[in-house]
Amino acid sequence: MGRHPSSGYCQTCRKRRVKCGTFPLSYKEVPECRRCRASGHKCGGYDLPLRMHVMGIRWERDGTQRMAPVKVPTTKPSPGLPLTAFRDDMAAAYFFQTFAWAPFWRSHLRSATSSTPASSVPQIHRLNKACFQAITYTHMGLQHGDATLQIEGRQIYSRALASMQTILANPYPKAQLAWLGETIIIMGMYEFAVNRVTGTGRDPPHHTGIAHILQRCGPETFQYGPLLDLFRGCRSLLICQGICRRILCFIEEEPWKTIPWEHSPKTFEDRLMDILVDLPGIAEGIELTFARQADDCRVACRAKIMFHLTTLRQWRREWNAAHSHTIRTVHVKGGHDMLPRQLEFSSSAQAVEILLYNEALLFLTKLGAIAHEERTSSFALRMADKSRGENLSFVHPNSVEPRIQPALESLMALNSATKLLNISDEKRPVMTPGPLAAVYMTLMENPELAGKWEQVMASYPMFDDVDIVCPSPWSLIFALSGL
């Protein structure tokens, strides 16, 4: 078995690193290359590969046996297993990794689609999972140019809308019907994540549906456990929409501020939302003031603004007393010159509370300046004088002007908030774009520094959509007031 090779270098030529000569014509003896013969070197011979022949016994037709080669079948690698069973997990993971607003929606989506849903209506839970699947499929299809995945996601969403209409047509008890608010919030996420249908001068899709569910169920339905958490999310979305449209919302009424919390204490965030819920009505009142020259309305708006600013200062004092020792200010290596430091919080709730506090402070400062017919910087300085020496903010009072201190503090808190929301298992309501819209508007007001602040905000991908999600609520007011 085996034969002499017909090619290759001998061992001696390999060691000498020279080209091997031709083989001798006869292989009766160990082959020796001609170069070694000519140079007087002893040829080391060639490697003799062993070629195996697999033989077996073969029966012939006449009954005799003979040796015959056995054909070894060639094996092909098995084809890869399809990933169809893992597609949902892959699409969900891709969505949370690539979509800028995913950290702010994560808690609601995880809670609404978990294996142990809070809702007692199986149809609503299946609807939640279908809507989330539609979001992830369509988002992944759009990002990768996969038309099939896009179509499948849109078909799932269309079927979910039809199922929603069927559920609304059935006479469910209020405690079960209220859970549709959870589904409608996810449908609103789909419209924004996929279609970007916002900021067009009309209600974003499904916000009207949230208001309808709340009014149909009444505030007393949301007094216990998970339903109270759901109400918090619905209220924050309606507040954001009310600020954009500058129209009073029914949730500003006193029953909606008190009845849901009859059996539960209000958190720091709940108290902030009680202030924010009044902002759409104040903005609407100021517009009417300039349109009709109604002095009594102007006086009422001024009083309400000053009351809320006082309430905000008291809120910050209590919050600092409870949490300031857990907050760290860290310097960022390689950070932007205009934002060299960042805030680090111990929980996502603390970070979100600071963002909401600064949103309320920025909006109230702007409304107060318009109502008092002052420049924003002058009004902000006058309000800052009232709390001078208290060090309520994490921003050094002499580092920047008071008008932009809240916006700067929000930027310092945003990285920590995003990180904590992305890893936290806390159940919390959906965070709206309102805090970021307030920061964006405030920093863009100064034309001289707008370019530099744009460079700072470019490192936060969610600011790419702020002007779409929540356009300046004050554009019409500016035109009326001339400020």
**Degrees (nearest 5) of the Cα angle 218, 223, 226?**
110
| Centroid of chain to Cα 316 | 28
Q: Which residue has the tokens 């109400």?
A: 231
- Is residue 25 within 8 Å of residue 8, measured between CB atoms? no
Does residue 475 or residue 334 have the better pLDDT?
Answer: 334
Per-residue model confidence as pLDDT tens digits over 108-147: 998 888 877 777 678 888 999 999 999 999 999 999 999 9
User: Is residue 67 scored above 50 in pLDDT?
Assistant: yes
Element (H, E) at 222: none
Nearest-angstrom CA–CA distance, 239 and 164: 24
Element (H, E) at 116: none
Choose which CATH entry (3.40.50, 4.10.240, 3.30.710, 1.20.120) describes domain 1-51: 4.10.240
Q: Which residue has the tokens 């205009």?
A: 338
The phi, psi pair for 329, rounded to 5°, reads -105, 120
Nearest to 107 by CA among 321, 278, 269: 269
Which range has the worst mean pLDDT, 79-93, 170-184, 388-402? 388-402
pTM: 0.78
User: Is residue 148 scored above 80 in pLDDT?
Assistant: yes
DSSP character string of 293-330: T-HHHHHHHHHHHHHHHHHHHHHHHHHHHHHGGG-EEE
Per-residue model confidence as pLDDT tens digits over 326-356: 888 888 776 667 777 889 999 999 999 999 9
Q: Quick one: pLDDT at residue 92?
A: 93
Nearest-angstrom CA–CA distance, 6 and 60: 36
Element (H, E) at 343: strand 341-344
List the domain boundaries for the chain.
Answer: 1-51, 86-217, 265-483
Give the tokens for residue 170: 């059935």
For residues 410-423, give the mean pLDDT: 91
User: Is residue 202 scored above 70 in pLDDT?
Assistant: no
